């Protein structure tokens, strides 16, 4: 198998650096997205708890009296 010449090796190394840079950028972006999603989930959980409490209070307030 022939060895790549110096120019080809240099091109491969440059392409590798570009791909590593793109990968690192995507990892940072994914980490930010994951953080935002976690915040949204926490906020949603809190809101759902509040809704459940309010529904319970509403049921207690509207139950028929005997």
pLDDT score for 63: 84
User: Which pair of structure tokens corresponds to residue 8?
Assistant: 């080809």
Residue 4: domain span = 1-66
Query: What is the average per-residue pLDDT within 32-48?
Result: 94
HSE-CB for 34 with a 13 A CA cutoff: 6
Number of domains in the chain: 1
pLDDT score for 41: 94
Q: What distance in Å separates the CA atoms of residue 41 and residue 33, rounded to the nearest whole number?
A: 12
Cβ neighbours for 12, distance < 8 A, ≥ 6 positions apart: 4
User: Which among 17, 50, 66, 28 has a CA at the least distance from the CA of 58?
Assistant: 50
pLDDT level of residue 65 (50, 70, 90 thresholds): confident
Residue 54 has pLDDT above 60, yes or no: yes
Residue 5 has pLDDT above 80, yes or no: no
């Amino acid at each position: 198998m022939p060895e790549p010449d110096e120019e080809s090796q240099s091109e491969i190394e440059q392409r590798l650096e570009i791909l590593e840079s793109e990968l690192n950028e995507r990892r940072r972006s994914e980490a930010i997205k994951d953080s935002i999603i976690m915040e949204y989930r926490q906020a949603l959980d809190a809101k759902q708890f509040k809704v459940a409490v309010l529904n319970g209070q509403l049921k207690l307030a509207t139950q028929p009296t005997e």
